[in-house]
Structure 1
């Protein structure tokens, strides 16, 4: 008979029980991760969903563990295999190929790398055209810091960041370094400058690394250099170990004392220092007080920034997308995704500034209304606060001197605090204040608004409107940069 099986021999030692229908999904031949499952897992991984959570989501979609078609270990293995397939000859070549592809799509993309003695990747820097435009508009204050080691090669990641007209963080460039020496930082800063058309920043904020400081002094000798106030304060706690000393030292960090008053405060600190270690540390900090004391830095533009907090916040953005031991070809796209997330926030801020109007609150309606039309929302809130604060001011005396009127102001309830403002009328109105808040932060102080009120001005003088805080900051600044004859391609002009 056909189609009939005949048992000729039975060997019980090389056999096993047949699986039940409920157990069949665990057989290797029945565990298959389909391409659609893999694509979904990869997409969810890019969106910061862990693989174990992705598997649970797939189980929920299919109605149970027996219906999903594979085990969680199979998904991990498939993802690992797909990662290995992306590699061409090695990890570095895959990363450089990714950057080369970005350069092919972006005419102003910039990338530069160096190799070590063994012909391995040493340092790597890159930035795109959006970062260039951001730096042209907001590169007057540069914050950079080397962060944690984010990859399997333990290369330090350096982020160049700043603040835009919405007072949000913008990224100017990224770098992976082989070490943190003076030579490496110098190479990085020179490369950064070459990528930014040699536009130098007015001020720089760092955490105080000695090699970094020397490289900054060498490459940017004319830029103002400020140490992160938070790091300086933390170092004070670690070295002074005396609550009263620490409080007095922190007052020297944050308070805008006059220089003679700062010297008096410092003498008190010296007298209260008891141990040789405290005295030695205080002398060392006094020698570089021009890079951390508010009294010495007042009048130098830092845009209201005194810490590297923006780099720390960028670390949080990047950390969300990076995992310990991540490959180089995964690290760079992850950083790009973090930048896209930042830029989406900036785009939303721009939309809100364009299509919404803040509520007016003060009695100086015309000045406040003009400020609401010129400044972005967050800057307008700061300006409005200064307008509100001018109601508590009193002018003790008005003198005619220096070719204009000199107002001597005090605050209600604090007659010992005095501020001097000089008003110059004419076609180009100028007002200067001794507190130097405008020079330091770019926001007119309450003393300036008080003088505007006394002079019956209905508009903020153009000399007191810093362009980088206005709604049209990027467009106007890029147009000026291009009109100076800088080497910019047609594509960049169109983007600007």
Structure 2
């Protein structure tokens, strides 16, 4: 076919763009469209034309350079949702070095699930091999959620310092309880300087191969498996593995910055779609109760998400094999020694009848946020049939994402501004309909309602504000509000003094050898 006869139609160009956006190889796209057209004679162009089309399109999109594309992308996101956060760092030559961004959903997810965070920088994003730093966590379905991302110039302590400070500013300086990382001294130094109160856990691979000194290895290993850390019961690499598999499938070394953002958005949307599927299944399916007459299982089946309820039920069923070996009163406290049939170990449970608090030497609640079978056994002996509310963490419940979230400036974060406008309209309409029904009954109430609404209408016209537009996402505010009740502080997680299980009392020494070694699938 002569070049003058070859032409890519608008429809074909759209299909080529869609295939390129989702990462389909150009040859595969061309072969598919050839089959659809009944052969190469009917398609009207060849594969070289498709490559030239994409190349010219990318050159046009990069006319302002990489920095211009970055700023244009951020401004587009701000125009869609004013809650979008982004920040950049400049070098001495006023060139952009490090950038960080988090959209509205990321800000909201961190508010609810930012107690345990994984930071991974193991993959590079584009032809410049700039590291992509990804902050992620687990939601109430134990599905991965993303809290923010950054393109780094390098992996020095200075870059990580800026990254952690920016991350905290985006999330109103709410520090996570624990951060799992894959890095060594540079990241550890920055964490110690910026997040003093945050526990730093290293990945298994870093512990195994990142230390030459035996003492350093033992300290890192103990930190990774410290049984007082609130780790959600996951392996240190579990969060990273969940996101890595998706990232690596769409990141290619020859991507420009615009293509990278398209692929990154696909990964984020994939994770969010998984959350929607879990929400739908939780609404449509009832959990299967292994003990249908159990009041506690009936209670929690309606409170926990299905995945969390399955974890709890698996532990709950073990209490049937548990028995009280010994009971002792220590002042106002009661100590129970609990054993399991066909198991040599024993666990010590302390119960405070005045404060209605319970604590077990296995530390399962302190690590995972779910009560253990030893405590369930003691509750059963005490004739406590329902789990007390202070042992039900909101972050594991179906209503974990309820409540209003504000951004670093103080404005309400809206996942989708268009949907929020519709929701506000619906709520006001219902209120006004009820008001009209009440006011229309008598002339006096009608006059009162009419005059009040007229005054309200005048005030609204005086204070009417234009719709939000793009604005700078950088803020100098360093306010540090308290964490929401959805998060658990270390003092809340450990209801009793740690000395109750100290080596002096021989109850619980805190060594790894004394930890609960029963095999569990967390």
Equivalent positions of 1:79-478 (< 5 A) are: 79-233=54-208, 235=209, 281-292=213-224, 294=225, 297-362=226-291, 365-415=294-344, 417-425=345-353, 429-475=356-402, 478=403
1:40 to 4, 10, 15: 15
Distance between the aligned counterparts of 2:255 and 2:3, measured in 1? Answer: 30
Structure number, greater radius of gyration:
1
Tell me the secondary structure at the aligned position of residue 358 of structure 1: coil
State the shift of 1:487 in Å. 4.9
- 1:222 Cα deviation after fit: 0.7
Report the alpha carbon displacement of residue 378 of structure 1 after superposing the two structures with TM: 0.9
Structure 1 pair 28/363, CA: closer, same or farther in 2 (3 Å)? Answer: closer
Count of residue correspondences: 418
TM-score (normalizing by structure 1): 0.80
In the alignment, is the contact (CA less than 8 A) between 1:429 and 1:463 conserved in 2? Answer: no
1:459 alignment partner, SS class: coil
Match of 2:435 in 1: none
Which of 402, 406, 410 lines up with 1:488 in the alignment? 410
Where structure 1 has 5 or more consecutive residues not aligned to the other structure, the ranges are 1-25, 240-279
Match for 1:49 among 2, 9, 24?
Answer: 24
Separation in structure 1 between the aligned mates of residue 293 and residue 325 of structure 2, nearest angstrom:
21
User: Residue 42 of structure 2: SS of its match in structure 1?
Assistant: coil
Post-superposition offset of 1:283: 2.3
Distance in 2 between the 1:289 and 1:338 partners? 32
Q: Distance in 1 between matches of 2:304 and 2:37?
A: 52
Instruction: Mark the CA change 1:231 to 1:378 in structure 2 (over 3 Å): closer, same or farther.
Output: farther
- Checking the alignment, whether the CA contact within 8 Å between 1:394 and 1:411 is kept in structure 2 is yes
Instruction: Tell whether the 8 Å contact from 2:207 to 2:221 is kept in structure 1 after alignment.
Output: no
Which residue pairs with 2:453 in the alignment? none
Q: Distance in 2 between matches of 1:91 and 1:183?
A: 23
Matched residues in 2 for 1:213 and 1:184: separation?
12
TM-superposed CA distance for 1:357, in Å, is: 0.7
Deviations, residues 68-90 of structure 1 (Å, cap 9, x unaligned): 11111111111111111212321
CA contact (8 A) 2:21 2:259 kept: no
1:248-284 deviation line (CA, Å, top 9, x unaligned)? xxxxxxxxxxxxxxxxxxxxxxxxxxxxxxxx63223
SS in 1 for 2:384: coil
Checking the alignment, whether the CA contact within 8 Å between 1:226 and 1:306 is kept in structure 2 is no
Partner SS for 1:473: coil
The alpha carbon displacement at 1:433 in A equals 0.7
Counterparts of 1:80 and 1:442 in 2: how far apart (Å)? 52
Structure 2-normalised TM-score?
0.76
Any idea what SS the aligned residue of 1:346 has?
helix
Contact 2:91–2:97 (8 Å) recurs in 1: yes
In structure 2, the gaps of 5 or more residues are: 424-522
Q: Which has the higher contact order (CA 8 A, sep 6+)?
A: 2
